[in-house]
């Protein structure tokens, strides 16, 4: 057996290098100090597995040179610099190390929180650099009895909550995708009302960076906050709208902000650095000796397992070869994932169970369809933390039941796939099929028959079926400069209707609030596919 070549593209802890070097089956190339152009042109073509960090982009140039790579291990959590779709097309497995830096990120969050309320960095500089002893200038506040709002209650957010309780803080968690008991069992309050978070003294965010979470704290949200609020972000840049954050800090609405991550990094000339009420660090969330050692160990072990075809821990994609799929199945897999994602966006709450029902020849592939449905559903809340390999395991960890049913085909369609969600707020059902070879269509949503292409920016508007409603909807959209590019309507036997309106332009909260205020509106939701 020839040796497996593992290329380490960026610096990792020596312990990880030792693990690789001491494996007799591994040929280690440590290219961390090589120029990037040489790495791409001369070294990557030799690799069976590559270990990267944020300094190496797994982009088109990287992939073009990856002649025989079977796996890329991102030594850390974020995969913003990895072209996962490009890797999938080449059959390259992408893995990350999602939990090795958890404690480091938790403790940095607490450090920023303490620095903000006591202004330690500024007091330190005043004494050490300016040689000024003025205790009266540095009166801070205490964490005790302050209300902390935590957005995102996963591995990091939940541990921040536990530590905040040790400081005798009042803690409230917002995460519509968890079982509330995860918070309440820790004596932490749980809310589904985002305004409860905005009313807190201190707010910290710990969510993945997804379409839903980018800019989730913006100008409107800051306006609702109490004067003198403290904001913390040690998660991902862009979760706070940075222009709104700058405005709030400049006006004094926000007393202090503790920021470890920026939308564009390195952020050496960012306007936030000019302010005296911001504590900043250069993306140090994973920068502890213990964290770096853990990351290196896990990355090395994952790379070895992938190189030897033993396992692909924390795989983020499905390296499936097109030739291995029946031609008719591929659009159904894509459609099912889209329907799952639409379902998650339409419900946006804690999911109890996912059931996939198939009719027709697709029933032979119900396991794969269920996996794609689960990925589509969980990606909305977990981002890249969920993948085709771990989807059902992640669901199990979150106490979500996965159910499958092969039904008799009585529809007259060749094939049909249905997803049934049971959530804490009710049920949601969606069905779809493929016409011809590639025409994906959603044909039923919650009992309303439709013929809908799963694509674009869609408003789901359910209403009592009376004259004039459609005209009112159109007027509101026109007044907000939203062009209707498609309109699909389904009606039921209970004098209710569901309109799915495809629009060009940004659907903001103002639009949804105006639609919701219509007298005959029963519910309104915006989804993007």
Among residues 522, 348, 325, 524, which one has the least CA distance to residue 423? Answer: 348
305/22 Cα distance (integer angstroms): 14
457/253 Cα distance (integer angstroms): 34
Between the CA of residue 110 and those of 160, 320, 379, what are the distances in Å? Answer: 7, 42, 28
Residue 346: what are its φ and ψ, rounded to 5°?
A: -70, -30
302/292 Cα distance (integer angstroms): 15
518/524 Cα distance (integer angstroms): 10
DSSP 110: H
Other C-beta atoms within 10 Å of 293: how many?
A: 16
Task: Retrieve residue 417's tokens.
Answer: 């796939």
Between the CA of residue 292 and those of 50, 62, 237, 477, what are the distances in Å? Answer: 18, 25, 21, 51
317/388 Cα distance (integer angstroms): 6
Say if CB 65 and CB 42 are below 8 A apart.
no
226/199 Cα distance (integer angstroms): 6
Among residues 502, 451, 450, 453, which one has the least CA distance to residue 477? Answer: 502
Other C-beta atoms within 10 Å of 172: how many?
A: 21
**Which helix (H) or strand (E) covers residue 353, if one does?**
strand 351-360
Among residues 501, 404, 424, which one has the least CA distance to residue 462? Answer: 501
Between the CA of residue 46 and those of 30, 40, 66, 529, what are the distances in Å? Answer: 12, 10, 8, 38
Among residues 343, 485, 353, 474, which one has the least CA distance to residue 424? Answer: 353
The separation between CA 46 and the C-alpha centre of its own chain, rounded to angstroms, equals 33
Among residues 91, 102, 118, 251, which one has the least CA distance to residue 163? Answer: 102
Under 8 Å CB-to-CB from 487, ≥6 apart: which residues?
A: 470, 499, 500, 501, 502
The crossing angle, in degrees rounded to 10, of helices 102-118 and 155-166 is 50
Rounded (to 5) percent helix, strand, coil in the chain? 35, 25, 35
Among residues 446, 456, 458, which one has the least CA distance to residue 490? Answer: 446
238 φψ region: left (φ > 0), alpha (ψ -120 to 50), beta (else): left
Active-site residues, by number, are 236, 265, 283
The separation between CA 402 and the C-alpha centre of its own chain, rounded to angstroms, equals 21
């Amino acid at each position: 057996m020839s040796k497996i070549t593992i290329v380490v593209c960026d610096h990792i802890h020596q312990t990880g290098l030792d693990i690789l070097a001491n494996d007799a089956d591994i040929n280690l190339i440590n290219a961390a100090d090589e120029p990037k152009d040489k790495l791409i042109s001369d070294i990557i073509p030799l690799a069976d597995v590559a270990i990267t960090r944020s300094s190496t982009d797994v982009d088109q140039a990287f992939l073009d040179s990856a002649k025989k790579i079977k796996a890329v291990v991102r030594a850390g959590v974020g995969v913003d610099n990895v072209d996962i779709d490009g890797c999938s097309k080449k059959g390259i497995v992408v893995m990350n190390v999602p939990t090795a830096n958890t404690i480091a990120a938790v403790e940095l969050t607490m450090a920023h929180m303490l620095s903000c309320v006591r202004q330690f960095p500024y007091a330190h500089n005043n004494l050490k650099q300016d040689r000024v002893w003025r205790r009266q200038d540095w009166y801070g506040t205490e964490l005790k009895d302050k209300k902390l709002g935590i957005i995102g209650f996963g591995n990091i957010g939940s541990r921040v909550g536990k530590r905040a309780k040790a400081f005798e803080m009042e803690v409230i968690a917002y995460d519509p995708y968890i079982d509330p008991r995860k918070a309440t069992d820790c004596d932490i309050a749980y809310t589904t009302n985002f305004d409860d978070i905005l009313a807190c003294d201190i707010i910290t965010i710990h969510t993945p960076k997804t379409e839903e979470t980018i800019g989730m704290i913006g100008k409107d949200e800051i306006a609702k906050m109490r004067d003198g609020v403290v904001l913390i972000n040690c998660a991902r840049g862009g979760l706070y709208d940075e222009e709104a954050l700058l405005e709030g800090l400049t006006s004094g609405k926000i007393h202090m902000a503790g920021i470890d991550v920026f939308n564009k990094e390195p952020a050496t000339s960012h306007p936030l650095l000019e302010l005296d009420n911001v504590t900043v660090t250069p993306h140090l969330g994973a920068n502890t000796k213990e964290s770096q050692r853990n990351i290196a160990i896990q990355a090395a072990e994952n790379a070895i397992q992938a190189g030897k075809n033993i396992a692909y821990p924390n795989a983020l994609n499905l390296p499936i070869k097109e030739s291995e799929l029946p031609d008719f199945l591929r659009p159904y897999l894509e459609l099912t994932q889209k329907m799952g994602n639409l379902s998650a966006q339409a419900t946006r709450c804690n999911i109890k169970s996912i059931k996939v029902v198939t009719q027709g020849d697709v029933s032979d592939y119900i396991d794969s369809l269920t996996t794609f449905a689960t990925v589509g559903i969980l990606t909305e809340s977990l981002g890249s933390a969920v993948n085709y390999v771990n989807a059902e395991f992640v669901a199990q960890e979150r106490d979500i039941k996965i159910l499958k049913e092969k039904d008799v085909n009585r529809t007259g369609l060749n094939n049909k796939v249905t997803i049934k969600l049971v959530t804490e707020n009710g049920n949601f059902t969606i069905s779809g099929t493929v016409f011809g070879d590639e025409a994906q269509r959603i044909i039923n949503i919650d009992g309303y028959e439709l013929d809908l292409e799963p694509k674009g920016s869609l408003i789901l508007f359910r209403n009592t079926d009376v004259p004039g409603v459609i005209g009112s909807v159109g007027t509101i959209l026109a007044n907000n400069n939203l062009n209707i590019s498609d309109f699909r309507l389904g009606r039921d036997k209970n004098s209710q209707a569901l309109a799915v309106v495809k629009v060009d332009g940004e659907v903001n909260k103002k639009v949804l609030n105006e639609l919701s205020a219509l007298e005959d509106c029963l519910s309104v939701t915006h989804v993007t596919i």
